[in-house]
Amino acid sequence: PRGSLPFVAPEAILLKQHQGGPADIWSLSIVVLEVLCCTRILERALHLEISAQGEGNRATVASDIAKHFNAEGSTSALLSEYGRPELANLLQTVTPVLQQ
């Protein structure tokens, strides 16, 4: 799989599979997280070692990302801690959905 980390779906790296639809949804989700929080949110929040060009140890980065998102409420926690202050009202409305 090609692409900049963390925009490549972890399963595409770890399982060496590529399913277009789910991989595209993953990539779009990371873009939305960056819009709601800040650029390079996963690198900052998870302390991932990724170069400015989006490169790093693909297996390690994918494993770290997968571990994080397997934890219940992890997306909600990211938004709570790193969400843009000007989007606070929006984030409050989506938090209950993300905690399920």
Higher pLDDT, 76 or 35: 35
Each residue's pLDDT tens digit, 19-68:
788 888 888 989 998 998 888 888 889 888 887 776 788 888 889 999 99
pLDDT grade for 98, boundaries at 50, 70 and 90 = low
**Residue 1 pLDDT > 60:** no
DSSP per-residue codes, 25-93: HHHHHHHHHHHHS-TTHHHHHHT----TTS-S-HHHHHHHHHHHHHSTTHHHHHHHHH--GGGHHHHHH
